Structures are given as structure tokens and as C-alpha cells.
Amino acid sequence: MRVYTHPACLRHAPGAAHPEHAGRLAAVVDALRSAFADRLDWIEAPAATDEQLARAHSRRLIAELRERSPSSGLCRLDEDTVMSPDSLDAGLRAAGAVCAAIDAVMTGHPRRAFCAVRPPGHHSPSDQAMGFCLFNQIAVGARHALHDHALERVAIVDFDVHHGNGTQSIFEADARVLFVSSHQSPLYPGSGSVSETGVGNIVNGVLDPGATSEAFRQLWRERLLPAIDAFAPELLLVSAGFDAHRLDPLADLNLTAADYRWITQELIEIADRHAQGRIVSTLEGGYSLTALRECSVAHVEALLGN
């Protein structure tokens, strides 16, 4: 199985006290290298092109991020979202990783891939960077799959503890893409009500603060997984945030690494039925280093088929 990453993603530095720091990605990469040794094929992610980005983002946003990218110091885009000199390259590599991974799985070799990248992306809508995110790499990837591989049905699965408001916004009028999300509410960014359904292609599942593994699995088993199965996607894309883990400092759910292994295995069964097994997953949130290590290993172990 391939893992796409790039050193620029480690150099993105939004500030010493920022929760979205390079140690997050370092923990994931170190854990995967230690757990799987030579079983993973590590690939340097290319930078996304402006053409790829513009399928999900406005030209104005692309130009703005290029113009505001600092040569030194920091540029604060909003209260939470900060650019350092390497941030633009990191964002381009994160989006490029997902596109390259999709190109690979569409050939069937391998059928699954993981993108170990940062900053996260799922909070960014078409015209704004927000919520630690610059470009929305999962959205860029979905549009790439539709355009370059002529797919008709792509499912995006988001189990980050925060709702992927940007992803939902980009696709809420595009019936070719199903967006399915479980997330804590109330919590940032305040979206993700079950009443938000797009054109019938948005399925949100809300978890109350303090929810446990049982509630998470019941929600997916009874409501969210059947929606994906009924959609019969030709490709599954996963926004893999691990911040619903019980150790995460930015949220209040109580999942364990076993829950991420379980949901990954369930998604593999659907991908095997409808998508020739094709899954591309990309790292989103997760702010406990211990949880990131445990959960990324559980997730990738399931993707490997163990």
C-alpha cells in the first residue's frame, strides 16, 4: 500500500502554541514506519496544479493564498488559520497527494492509499481558508476523480470529530458526490445538522458530547453506512480525523483505536462491493499524539487488510 507525504507538510509552522503543529504528522509517520516497516511504499507527494485546485476552489482564493504566503514570519488568515513560509507548499502537496493517490488506485495497483499530510483541509469551502485548513484536499481529490477518471459517483466519508463544513459546502449541490459525516455537536464549526441534506447527497450524523464507542458504531451501522452502500460509489475518499478519540484535548467524545479499525473495515466491505476496493484516505484532525499514533496504525492496518 502506498503512503503519500512530503517534507513541506512538516515545515508548515503556524506557531509554537498552535495545536496543529508538525509533531502531529511526525507522530503519524513514525508510528506507521515502526509498525509496518517495508510493507508500505512511501511516495513523495506532488504539488497540486492550479487547474486541479480550481475545480474545488475559487481562483480568487488560490491567488489570495499565493499573495499572502509570507517570505518570513507568520500571516494570520483568521483567528485559527496561519501561514508560515512553507505553508503554501504544504497545502499544495496535501492536495496533490490526494490527486496522485487517486490516480494510483484507479489503476488498481494499489487499491488503497493513505495520505500522511497537513494542514488538514475539510473546513475550507471553495472561497475561504479556515479552521486550520488552507486547501480542501479531499474536495480537490473528488473533483479530480470526477474530471480525470470520468467517475459518476464518489463518496466522501468524514469521521473527524468536527463537521467538514467546507466539504459539505463544495458538494451540497453536486449529486455526483455523497458526503457522509459523523461529528460531535455542539462543537466548532457549528454546522452539520441532520436537516442539512443538500440535494439528497448530504448525510450528517450527530454525536452528543461524551458519546462512546457504542453510540458511534450504532450511528454508522444504522444510518451512515447504509447510505453509502445505497449510493454504490465507484470510489471512497476518507477524511480521517482521529480527534473523536477519548484522549483528544479539543473535543469530548470517547472513541478508541479499535473504533477506527472497525469503521475502516466496514468501509472496505462497501468499497469491495461497489468500487473494486478503491479507497483513498487523508489525515485530517487529531491533537493527542498518543491517539494519533494508535489510531493511524489501526486505520492503516485495516487498509492493509490485516
What's the pLDDT tens digit per position in 156-176?
999 999 999 999 999 999 999
- The torsion defined by the Cα of 168, 173, 174 and 177, in degrees rounded to 10, comes to 30
Q: Catalytic pick from 6, 123, 144, 183? A: 123
Q: How many other β-carbons are positioned within 10 Å of the β-carbon of residue 250?
A: 16
Q: Are 304 and 261 in contact (CB under 8 A)?
A: no
pLDDT single digits (tens) 17-65: 999 999 999 999 999 999 998 899 999 999 999 999 999 999 999 999 9
What sections of 188-254 are H helices per DSSP?
Answer: 213-219, 225-231
Say whether 147 is catalytic: no
List the domain range (segments joined by +) for residue 19.
2-304
* Residue 288: per-residue pLDDT: 98
Angle at 306 between CA 117 and CA 297, to 5 degrees: 30
Of 197, 186, 272, 195, whose CA–CA distance to 227 is shortest?
A: 197
Q: What CATH number did the domain enclosing 285 receive? A: 3.40.800.20
pLDDT single digits (tens) 268-300: 999 999 999 999 999 999 999 999 999 999 999
pLDDT single digits (tens) 69-126: 999 999 999 999 999 999 999 999 999 999 999 999 999 889 999 999 999 999 999 9
Q: In the chain, what percentage of residues exceed pLDDT 70?
A: 100
Q: What is the mean pLDDT of residues 229-247?
A: 98
The pTM of the full predicted model, rounded to 2 decimals, is 0.98
CA distance linking residue 283 with residue 9, whole number of Å: 11
- In the chain, the number of structural domains is 1
